[in-house]
Amino acid sequence: MLKRTEGRWFGVGAVPREATVLELLFDIVYVFALARLAGRVADDLTIVRHTLLSEAGQTLLFFIAMWMIWSLNALMSSVYDPRSPSIQVALLATMFGTLVLAVSLPQAFGERGVIFACTYVLIQVGRPLYLTLALRPQPEWRQPARVLAWHVASGVLWLCGAATAGLGRGILWTAALAVEVLGSALSWPAPRLGLTRSGYARVNYEHLAERYNQFFMIALAEVVLETGAAVSFPGFSLERTVVLVAAFLAVVAFWRMYFYHVGRGPAPSRARGGALRLNEWSSFSLLLIVAGVICTAVGYGQIIRHMNPPVDWALVVVIFGGPALFLVGRAYLEGPTPLNGQCPALYLGLLALGVVAPVMVVLPPIAAAVAVGVILAGAAGMDFVIHRQGPETNPPL
């Protein structure tokens, strides 16, 4: 199934630096999934307050679950050549499964829970099982087999949760996701199959960085889509125009700090040129970055739809917490020791968000939108001043 062609192993190695067109199509499917997640966050802000935390917890669970699928597929296509027909089959199957999951999201804790859980388990168990069988004649089969062992264990909890309802489903699904996150953090150790991180040695970090760049841009587009859709229906007004400008400032600041921020401290580079210097923990950093961008998109959209004061405390948490998550995630995205000599722009922006956020509760919603845009623009401007003469930048797509 994975065979030698033109002197290369198309299953292991020969991974191109650039993301392929099929991977772009795979990521575009996540535009729909991210939109569904953003919709759930928006719904969380409009429901009765005594259920807000439970609804937000469900949304967070779905977001991490969808993230686990994407991150493992990005890792797969950075270890095995995504141009191989065998790997393309896996990508296409996962793409269809992701579409089913996105459709099931709104009622996943209701009548579509069985569909969501069964589809999720098929994706997370089917992918490593497929790779294990395909690579069985080669020593590389152990790495996907380790992932398979963890997902079989978590799959039992997912299916048991689907068979229950209410609080029991939430507890079992949370436990299942905790198993997967723990396995990812430990690099999927399994008895007799390997207990170390040696499997990461074959990752093409240049290709993985391109996938990160691509997915970040797709998430960033959610800010444009959310705010643009919110403005387009009622039309322009002075207040909505101000919020739209603030959202645009936030988008530009996110773009600038993601692609052109580099830490001052030494960090081992696994990619040539100016590519992102990723490590085994960077996936969790990108998780925070994408979550922060989605929260920011929802926050701006909600402010445009509800311009009249007073601002809701939950909305303040979302619109200020989103940029905070982004800044924390970006600070930890590169290098194994991000606190060593990091640029202060990100931390000063984080501090400014924390100082200003409590004051916004007593001000009109438009003030929160402007404050976030100004703070992010200021942090990006400081980052530009610090790094404008530096030779290293993360290459744009």
The predicted-structure confidence for 133-170, as pLDDT tens digits, reads as follows 888 777 778 888 899 999 999 999 999 999 998 888 99
Q: Which of 191-200, 220-229, 372-381 has the lowest mean pLDDT?
A: 191-200
Condensed to tens digits (0 to 9), the pLDDT of residues 62-81 reads 999 999 999 999 989 888 88
Identify the pLDDT of residue 394. 57
Residue 1 has pLDDT above 50, yes or no: no
Identify the pLDDT of residue 4. 44
Q: What is the mean pLDDT of residues 49-57?
A: 63
Condensed to tens digits (0 to 9), the pLDDT of residues 180-199 reads 999 988 888 888 776 655 44
Give the burial string for 91-128 (b: 16+ CB within 10 Å, else e): beebbebbebbbbbbeebbeebbebbbbbbbbbbbbbb
Q: What is the helix (H) or strand (E) element at residue 8, kind and residue range?
A: strand 8-9
pTM: 0.85
Identify the pLDDT of residue 266. 42
Q: Which of 97-111, 132-146, 362-376 has the lowest mean pLDDT?
A: 132-146
Query: Residue ranges per domain, the chain?
Result: 13-202, 205-387
How far apart CA 85 and CA 95 sit, in angstroms, is: 15
Task: Determine contact, residues 15/79, Cβ cutoff 8 Å.
Answer: yes
Q: What is the mean pLDDT of residues 378-383?
A: 92
Give the burial string for 2-22 (b: 16+ CB within 10 Å, else e): beeeeeebbbbebbeeebbeb
Better pLDDT: 312 or 340? 312
Alpha carbon separation from 395 to 206, 209, 271 (Å, rounded): 11, 10, 12
